[in-house]
Structure 1
């Protein structure tokens, strides 16, 4: 698409919301000058930002990419109360239908400035948090099942005993986030920052963790059932004493990882490529001392030359 046309699309959608360039910039955590350059056709936003714009304006990606200007069967939401700090207070899109005399509930918190917000104990399934500032937000004991977190700052957020079943976390900053006794079933983590995040006493059931550096992520007293780690860096990670059932490590870097005293049932380790000498050497750096394994897991690792002399079979 011509950059001038793209700029006009952004400007038209912004003006339809009675939103200033500064307000839009606040939602995207960028400078107003950057928005001005887009609208003048002097530069273009990256793909992730275009996704955020689509969510903020409640339009399909085709609004920015083809010759039509039709939204997905709905009008652009109006901002009834912009607080000047990146919050979309009063957004009228994606509301759950009211029952009785109850007012409709806000389901889309995209682009909101909610740092430090108390969400303790809320019942809020299927919410959207796209491009939101949620630093140090407290979601303890909340029901967030089926919610989507994408491109948001969740550093320092608390998810103690939170229901995150079916939630999707994509391209988020989860540095120093805490997952203490969190309900993690069918949850997905993709391309997110999990440095110094802590998973304690959590059961990860059918969880997918993809394209994430987990070297500085802490797992303590967790159980993994049906979990898939794919294209992750887990070098040097300590997973001692934890339980792994029907788990797959798919193209995962595990150099120097420790599984001492862990329990394994039907666990597979898939190479990033063909079985090279380098892959054999990587597996041989993993510590399995005191672990317990089913016979098939034991045999697969032993066949790859892993030292299992201190491992017991189940």
Structure 2
């Protein structure tokens, strides 16, 4: 199976709806305020995209085994926003790597994050009651982000 190549393209203020972009090559592509709805994006190395003004939103997508490495994902969203009869049961993100990623302000809502890797993620705030996190990996520092909704202070 050949992967789709979107090298160097610029996408701004647009939506991808119901697309299969699994294994897509995004080298140098720009994504500025782009929403993916009910898309297959499995095995995508998002870290190859152009980081300038990067803004992603994923609604009800499958991102299994994708990678976000050394990226600024502040204010991005991953959610289960069902607007019609959905193809997928949730925003599926099993085995996704969030490696050295800034997640400040990133929103996770009803996502399947089973076996995702958050060990080197920064500023994680994630409600484990609203997301599936079984088998997900966290460092001590990133695990503190699981308590954000309780507005408690943890010190060491």
Asked if residue 205 in structure 1 is aligned to residue 74 in structure 2, the reply is: no
Alignment TM-score, normalising by the size of structure 1 = 0.39
- Equivalent in the alignment of 2:4: 147
Give the equivalent residue in structure 2 for 1:254. Answer: 123
Deviations 1:135-171 (A, max 9, x none): xxxxxxxxxxx11223331223432111111112233
**What SS does the aligned partner of 1:158 have?**
strand
Can you give the 5+ residue segments of structure 1 that lack an aligned partner in the other structure?
1-124, 127-145, 271-278, 291-304, 307-314
The 5 Å alignment of 1:75-224 reads: 126=2, 146-192=3-49, 193=51, 195-221=54-80, 222-224=91-93
CA distance in 2, matches of 1:187, 1:168: 7
Distance 1:183 1:209, change over 3 A: same
* Greater relative contact order (CA < 8 Å, ≥ 6 in sequence): 2
| Structure 2 alignment gaps of length 5 or more | 81-90
1:269 to 138, 146, 156: 138
Larger Rg: 1
* Equivalent residue number for residue 12 of structure 1: none
Deviation of the 1:205 alpha carbon? 1.3
For the aligned residues, what is the CA RMSD? 2.7
Q: Distance in 2 between matches of 1:149 and 1:209?
A: 17
Aligned residue pair count: 139
TM-score, normalisation: structure 2: 0.74
Alpha-carbon contact 2:75-2:104 (below 8 Å) kept: no
Judging by fraction of residues, say which structure has more strand.
2
Shift of 1:174: 0.3
Structure 1 match to 2:86: none
* 1:10-69 residue CA offsets vs partner (Å, 9 max, x unmatched): xxxxxxxxxxxxxxxxxxxxxxxxxxxxxxxxxxxxxxxxxxxxxxxxxxxxxxxxxxxx
What CA distance in whole angstroms lies between the structure 2 residues aligned with 1:236 and 1:168? 27
CA distance in 2 between counterparts of 1:205 and 1:253 reads 21
Q: Is the 2:35–2:58 Cα contact (8 Å) retained in structure 1?
A: yes
Distance in 2 (alpha carbons) for counterparts of 1:175 and 1:185: 20
